[in-house]
């Protein structure tokens, strides 16, 4: 055998060994999902036969099949194998947690009904009540997007003004210190009196919750820009407008995105409270409706949907930040 053939054979053997070792945890996760499916269907329920029990087991088996396909694909796609190995601990933990949840609710009945619902009850809500959930999610997205956009623009403008101009900061800083720490939900009765509709009042409250962290972080970012940058730009003939838009704002963008992350989290809590006080549709309205009818499975399903939506928005904001601030990756830790 030539040296080239020996090297190829050695490399193939090494890849096969590393792939076999790396697939251990994903294979264990497959076992976990299959075991969770067996528990769901073969262990008797303590109180009643819950709907969608077989559907939940089929979902678990489907997830196990998907992981098996990814394990096989990882043999030829290293990126898939790497991503699968990184998520394998969670893929093992999730069936364990869901099995414990299933045992405590449907199988053993240790958590009382209707305050605690098993996983298949939430799945039944998604299957049977998806039109109302989708409509509520759509109305919440419109309300949240309007409020966050208004709060982000006004907060960014206010933060740049305070950080750049001492004269504007003299007048705006006291207003920021007085109005900013007040929870936006505390102004709920006043807003519903001043604004012509519950929609406009809710938009204002969400905008206020976003405005404060964006303003503070933008102000901090502009104020912390090294004065040497301004001196160099002025030496080259830069005007004040150039200093603001080409020096101060780009340097402050990392702080701005931190403020956006904080504002987005605060806006979600404000959204739920605002939607409970007069709107006709939305996640907050759906939560109040579910509580009124003691439909706790619907309430948990809406909470899970809201958590996934918030996580998705934050992930999208991370993607936007990474693209806009790609030029700062070497200077900052992401």
Q: Are residues 188 and 80 part of one domain?
A: no
Q: Are residues 321 and 209 part of one domain?
A: yes
Residue 309 has pLDDT above 60, yes or no: yes
Residue 59 lies in a domain: yes
**Residue ranges in the chain assigned as alpha helix (H):** 3-22, 24-42, 53-73, 78-102, 119-128, 130-164, 166-179, 188-194, 198-223, 227-235, 240-243, 249-275, 283-292, 296-324
Q: Are residues 157 and 64 part of one domain?
A: no
Residue 62 lies in a domain: yes
Residue 123 lies in a domain: no
Domain with 235 in it: 130-328
Query: Which of 75, 92, 74 shows the shortest CA–CA distance to 83?
Result: 74
The tally of domains found in the chain comes to 2
Residue 196 lies in a domain: yes
Residue 266 lies in a domain: yes
Residue 334 lies in a domain: no
Of the residues 92, 118, 144, the one at which a domain ends? 118
Q: Cα–Cα distance between 95 and 97 in angstroms, integer?
A: 5
Q: Are residues 164 and 300 part of one domain?
A: yes
Residues 300 and 117: beta-carbon distance below 8 Å: yes
- How is residue 275 written in tokens? 């939607």
- Res 323: pLDDT: 85
pLDDT > 70: what percent of the chain?
91
Q: Are residues 41 and 153 part of one domain?
A: no
Q: Are residues 28 and 173 part of one domain?
A: no
72-91: pLDDT as tens digits: 998 888 898 899 999 999 99
Q: Are residues 169 and 114 part of one domain?
A: no
Q: Of 9-18, 116-125, 126-135, 154-163, which gets the smallest average pLDDT?
A: 9-18
- How is residue 206 written in tokens? 């969400």
Of the residues 84, 118, 152, the one at which a domain ends? 118
| Residue 5 pLDDT class (50, 70, 90 cuts) | very low
Between 27 and 8, the more confident residue is 27
Residue 13 has pLDDT above 80, yes or no: no
Query: Which of 292, 310, 290 shows the shortest CA–CA distance to 300?
Result: 290
Residue 10 has pLDDT above 80, yes or no: no
Residue 277 lies in a domain: yes
- Res 11: pLDDT: 44
Q: Are residues 219 and 76 part of one domain?
A: no
Cis peptide bond prior to 114, omega within 30° of 0: yes
Question: What CATH code is carried by the domain that includes residue 177?
Answer: 1.10.3720.10
Residue 95 lies in a domain: yes
33-47: pLDDT as tens digits: 999 999 999 998 887
Q: Are residues 51 and 73 part of one domain?
A: yes
Q: Cα–Cα distance between 282 and 307 in angstroms, integer?
A: 14
- How is residue 29 written in tokens? 């996760």
Mean local confidence (pLDDT), 193-207: 86
Of the residues 68, 90, 118, the one at which a domain ends? 118
Q: Are residues 88 and 162 part of one domain?
A: no
Q: Are residues 313 and 205 part of one domain?
A: yes
Buried/exposed 258-287: b ≥16 CB within 10 Å, e otherwise: bbbbbbbebbbebbbbbbbbebebbbbbbb
- Res 304: pLDDT: 92
Distance linking the first and last C-alpha atoms of the chain: 49
Reading phi first (left if > 0) and then psi (alpha if -120 to 50, else beta), residue 104 is in alpha
Cis peptide bond prior to 323, omega within 30° of 0: no
Q: Are residues 242 and 174 part of one domain?
A: yes
């Amino acid at each position: 055998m030539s040296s080239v053939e020996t090297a190829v054979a050695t490399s193939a053997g090494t890849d096969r060994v590393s792939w076999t070792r790396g697939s251990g945890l994903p294979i264990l996760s497959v076992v976990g999902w299959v075991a969770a499916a067996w528990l769901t269907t073969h262990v008797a329920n303590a109180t009643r036969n819950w709907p969608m029990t077989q559907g939940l087991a089929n979902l678990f088996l489907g997830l196990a099949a998907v992981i098996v396909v990814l394990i096989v694909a990882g043999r030829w796609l290293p990126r898939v194998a790497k991503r699968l190995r990184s998520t394998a601990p969670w893929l093992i933990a999730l069936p364990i947690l869901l099995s414990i949840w299933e045992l405590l609710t449907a199988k053993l009945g240790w958590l009382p009904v209707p305050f605690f619902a098993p996983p298949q009850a939430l799945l039944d809500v998604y299957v049977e009540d998806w039109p109302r959930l989708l409509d509520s999610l759509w109305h919440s997205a419109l309300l949240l997007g309007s409020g966050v956009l208004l709060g982000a623009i006004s907060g960014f403008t206010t933060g740049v003004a305070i950080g750049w101009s001492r004269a504007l900061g003299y007048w705006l800083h006291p207003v920021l210190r007085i109005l900013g720490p007040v929870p936006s939900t505390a102004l709920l009765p006043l807003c519903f009196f001043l604004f012509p509709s519950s929609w406009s009042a809710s938009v204002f409250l969400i905008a206020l919750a976003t405005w404060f962290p964006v303003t503070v972080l933008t102000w901090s970012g502009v104020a912390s820009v090294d004065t040497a940058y301004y001196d160099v730009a002025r030496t080259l003939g830069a005007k004040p407008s150039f200093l603001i838009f080409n020096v101060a704002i780009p340097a402050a963008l990392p702080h701005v995105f931190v403020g956006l992350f904080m504002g987005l989290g605060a806006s979600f809590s404000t959204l739920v409270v605002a939607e409970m006080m007069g709107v006709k549709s939305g996640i907050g309205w759906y939560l109040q409706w579910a509580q009124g009818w003691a439909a706790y499975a619907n309430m948990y399903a809406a909470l899970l949907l809201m958590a996934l939506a918030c996580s998705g928005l934050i992930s999208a904001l991370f993607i936007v930040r990474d693209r806009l601030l790609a030029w700062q990756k070497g200077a900052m830790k992401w």
